[in-house]
Structure 1
């Protein structure tokens, strides 16, 4: 199997297990969790780059306006995604989080079509219609727009798009985008510490340990994702992304006792239908024996 595909698969498997970590940290403010994700991720990457003497790219990167602009954008997008996801899990909205990542594959394919000129066939267009129908159903029946879910889908979709076009490798890129977020996270740390609201200072030894672990927990799947993203078409990434939200979807009701309402389940089924169409289309397209027949059916 293609190394890029394996990297993306492993990244989404790790992300699928994320709710267990964040649910265990419910007593910590979501903002502080995000702060530690930024701080320890950057610290881990900085130490690695220093020890491996892989820092020569830094001067060239920070003096290139395009590189700075791209990674400032990716930094904002990934921080927004982290914040939204952490808030959703900590506040027992795991199903809402899974809804966002069920929509994400379709958003990825749509963005790949709009910005990277990757062609969208009729089967893929039908899948997007199903996804939109699912979102509209949830909005109409529950009388509430799925803002958290859409924020997750759009922020990570655009993040993947930006990283796809980024001029640096996965490790260097993640270092630069966390470096841009680092000063903000550091200032926020001093602010919360001054108000006596920092769990890292007043919490237990286990709290400190798990907050530090936010670094490797964050870094490993992002590096795998960014590496794989360079190896496979962006639309193909969309077909793999259903793994993580499927895991998150079942974790919510079966492990955390969240209620799965019938109206929301119908919306999920519509979105799942869209994902299955994408997966099926990719399967038939990748097997030469079925390719001609499927193209005929799609016309």
Structure 2
């Protein structure tokens, strides 16, 4: 067995940091109590765009962004990415504010399986029998909630499909993660600024409620960018399969926060749907691991 190189170790640490920060997001967004999710979203767009611009300047990474902006006809896919990531952010913030973090965590557990299904249905990718079983089992878990519990897990479904669609579109965009997110937020920036201006003119903006709230809203840009930078550091140093396994840290932390911090109720029936998703993920992970070891 090969010893881990210093770069690999560094990559794992970056990955652990990124997914732990993302998993801890419920604790952060819970601080915005009383501020509508869509208002938090517009500030996240504004301050993320500003902070990313500073980071890109410091890293001297403007060239790929200039190239992308010089070809406006090719920005349609980036705009699609922007819309789906904004939808994902907005629904996630709403889930935290309304204490539906269990549904949110289930959405992120479900995302890899949605990616597999989309790859098969949209990109006509071939999948293994085990992966097909995992996707079917995940679908059964959602249908179980729908028909036996009488619940439409819309937060779970929107988070999983919006992030899955974002990933699908993102594959076709020739921009790295940092540059891509900056251009996405840049495209959303005019709408965010207009909305913020309208809120101020109507006297309903929460930005000036208190110094604490102002600092919280300003911090949303840093909070958005730092995990992304850590993830980029991990992705450059690790195999895709390793990054994929680390990804489960995020929804696991969210699940534990929902149970032990927010004390959201978890009935036996809801737990059964989680168990089905976990089994599906175990099957999928086993298949991915075997595929990684298969001779090329």
User: What is the aligned-residue RMSD (CA, Å)?
Assistant: 2.6
Q: Find the counterpart in structure 1 of residue 146 from structure 2.
A: 139
Conserved? CA contact 1:108–1:235, under 8 Å = no
Q: Secondary structure at the match of 2:265?
A: coil
TM-score for the superposition, normalised by structure 2: 0.87
CA distance in 1, matches of 2:126, 2:42: 39
Q: Find the counterpart in structure 1 of residue 219 from structure 2.
A: 213
CA distance in 1, matches of 2:14, 2:172: 18
Q: Find the counterpart in structure 1 of residue 161 from structure 2.
A: 154
1:125-167 deviation digits (Å, cap 9, x = unpaired): 1111111111011111221211111100011111122222211
Q: Find the counterpart in structure 1 of residue 52 from structure 2.
A: 45
Q: Find the counterpart in structure 1 of residue 270 from structure 2.
A: 264
Conserved? CA contact 2:241–2:288, under 8 Å = no
- Correspondence list, 1:54-133, <5 A: 54-65=61-72, 67-115=74-122, 118-133=125-140
CA distance in 2, matches of 1:122, 1:173: 34
Structure 1 residues 231 and 106: CA distance shift in structure 2, 3 A:
farther
1:195-239 deviation digits (Å, cap 9, x = unpaired): 22211112x211111111110111122344467668878787654
Conserved? CA contact 1:112–1:234, under 8 Å = no
Q: Secondary structure at the match of 1:182?
A: helix
CA distance in 2, matches of 1:11, 1:66: 33
Structure 1 residues 196 and 110: CA distance shift in structure 2, 3 A:
same
Conserved? CA contact 1:92–1:258, under 8 Å = yes
CA distance in 1, matches of 2:82, 2:150: 33
CA distance in 1, matches of 2:191, 2:56: 22
> Which runs of 5 or more residues in structure 2 are unaligned?
none
Alignment counterpart, residue 169 of structure 1, candidates 176, 181, 184:
176
Q: Find the counterpart in structure 2 of residue 250 from structure 1.
A: 256
User: How many residues matched?
Assistant: 288
Structure 1 residues 54 and 259: CA distance shift in structure 2, 3 A:
same
